[in-house]
Chain A
Amino acid sequence: MEKEQLKQQVKEQIIKFLNLNNLKPEDINDEEPLFGDGLGLDSIDSIELIVMLSREYGINIQDPKEGRKVLTTVNTMVDYIEQHRTK
């Protein structure tokens, strides 16, 4: 899958898993922080995203420090998915 295609898919999945019904994929900037000032996600959302990576891409993040780096932006998520996906 092309990187741009994967980005689009990840954004759609973020919206679906986190019930961000008022957002469209194009509203999410690739470099925008997912937590804090950007999308304003919180700790419960981080669990949802980790579960999303596991269910959709077969990626199991065990180390919280690693999770923090992976879930920084859409770009960091996509890079990690490309390198570690098992499905």
Chain B
Amino acid sequence: MFIHQHICISPQHTSGDVDLDVLNPSANGQLTAIEPELTGVPAGLLRRMSKAVRMGIGAGLPILQQNKVDGIIVGTANGGMNDCIKFLNQIIDYDEGMLTPGNFVQSTPNAIAGQLSLITKNQQYNATHVHLGLSFENSLIDAQMHLKEKAEGNYLVGAVDEISSYNYNIDLLAGWYSQNIENQSFYQSKLPATIAGEGAAMFLLNNNAYDALARVKDIETFHASDIETVKARFKIFAEAQNLDSETTIFLTGENGDIRFNPFYHSCEAIINDITVARFKHLSGEYPTAVSFAVWLSVFALQNKKLPGHLFKTENNLSQLNNIIIYNNYHGLQHSFISITSN
């Protein structure tokens, strides 16, 4: 499966003129996405859109405007959670009386893929995967299966998640996030917490190797809470990739939370000659953050380099051809993705 186009909206300068050398800082334990100006969206639709929908449209619409696709597949753990909470609060505030449809319509997870379909009048396959920390991976697997059935197909695949104040406060109370951590230094925080992030990344996928930006060579997902299972599965996955230390980066989802460091460190030890890079000081933590990692991988393979602040270990690359991504969400949902230059 090959990636032909990609757009990423994130807290960093990833859309439009990409500049990863400048690291935007987090504020109050959050990395909020920089929204681009949306064009081609009717004003009436735009003013009702939640941030999640705006980010999804901002990343997906430019690709759909240039390509005819056989399906739109989006992964999102929470969709427009902010609007969902507004709607639920209305039910309470107005005693289940007169409710308006706007917040409800915009808050459902499938509003993103749905709006992309409606705006572009695309009536093909339209699916939204909502498997929390594996939502994006399952969207990729969905596209992979479609491309096995319909080899000439073209699919828009992506992921979106927003920081909603309600969810953020719950996660803060639950101890997932800390407002005392900054993204510039969170790998050294030694706290059982990280910072929240948000963003959207969209990709045009098909089976055509010609002119492709990169290839999604392999994807593996599983649930596990113990390190031994992760190590065993990663060993098998890594062996199958025939990794070359001079051309490969191991990109991990390490997020500074000391509870999850052992998962990443154990996998690093299995391929200890491979250069290690990290991405969550750019994106923050969110259930579909791995979509940012895939965008970053494609960007790196295109440019054959990454800024120094991404590297955890010494950069021993003579050339960059492969990136292995390992991410886990809350130490329970794990994924390995292998991206190669062709």
Q: For the complex, count residues of B whose C-beta is within 8 A of A.
A: 11
- Point out the residue from A19, A42, A51 that lies within 8 Å of B98, measured CB to CB: A51
A36–B44 Cα distance when bound, in Å, is 12
A40–B47 Cα distance when bound, in Å, is 12
- When distances are taken between beta carbons in the complex, the residues of chain B under 8 Å from A40 are 43-44
Q: Judging by beta carbons under 8 Å apart, are A44 and B47 in contact?
A: no
What 1/0 flags go to B206-230 for Cβ under 8 Å of A?
Answer: 0000000000000000000000000
- When distances are taken between beta carbons in the complex, the residues of chain A under 8 Å from B43 are 40
A41–B45 Cα distance when bound, in Å, is 11
B interface: dominant SS = helix
User: Taking each of B44, B100, B101, which has the highest tally of chain A beta carbons within 10 Å of its own beta carbon?
Assistant: B100
Q: Which residue of A lies closest to B93 (CB)?
A: A55
Q: Which residue of B lies closest to A53 (CB)?
A: B98
- Point out the residue from A41, A42, A51 that lies within 8 Å of B100, measured CB to CB: A51
A40-B43, A48-B100 known; A55+B48 contact, CB < 8 A = no
Q: Judging by beta carbons under 8 Å apart, are A19 and B47 in contact?
A: yes
A6–B48 Cα distance when bound, in Å, is 26
What 1/0 flags go to A35-68 for Cβ under 8 Å of B?
Answer: 0000011101101101100110000000000000
Q: Judging by beta carbons under 8 Å apart, are B101 and A55 in contact?
A: no
Q: Judging by beta carbons under 8 Å apart, are B98 and A54 in contact?
A: yes
- Point out the residue from A21, A44, A50 that lies within 8 Å of B102, measured CB to CB: A44
A21-B47, A42-B44 known; A48+B102 contact, CB < 8 A = yes
A51–B97 Cα distance when bound, in Å, is 10
Q: Judging by beta carbons under 8 Å apart, are B48 and A44 in contact?
A: yes
Residue ranges of A at the interface with B (Cβ–Cβ < 8 Å): 17-22, 40-42, 44-45, 47-48, 50-51, 54-55
